[in-house]
């Protein structure tokens, strides 16, 4: 899996924000790697994607306070 991620340009760090597009509120097993500290946001169907909704999701993410406990 690590080699496949490097082949597509992912260095291996976990993303902070994962935007999921699709009709269902699930990520259907994607991504296949562990995401411990990733904020997952469902954005709705891809055909209804708007610049404003992307901007709103990023703004809401920047306002989140994360507590990393033991």
2 within some domain: no
18 within some domain: yes
39 within some domain: yes
For the whole prediction, is pTM greater than 0.85? no
Domain extent, residue 37, equals: 14-62
6 within some domain: no
Angstrom CA distances, 57 to 2, 8, 29, stand at: 28, 25, 22
Tokens of 20: 């999921």
> How many domains does one find in the chain?
1
pLDDT in tens, the chain (70 residues): 667 767 776 666 777 788 888 877 776 676 666 677 778 888 888 887 888 888 998 898 888 776 666 5
25 within some domain: yes
């Amino acid at each position: 899996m690590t080699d496949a991620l490097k082949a597509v340009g992912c260095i291996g760090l976990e993303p902070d924000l994962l935007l999921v597009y699709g009709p269902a509120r699930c990520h259907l097993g994607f991504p296949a790697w562990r995401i411990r500290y990733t904020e997952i946001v469902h954005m709705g169907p891809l055909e209804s994607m708007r610049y404003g909704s992307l901007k709103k999701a990023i703004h809401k993410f920047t306002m989140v306070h994360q507590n990393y406990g033991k």
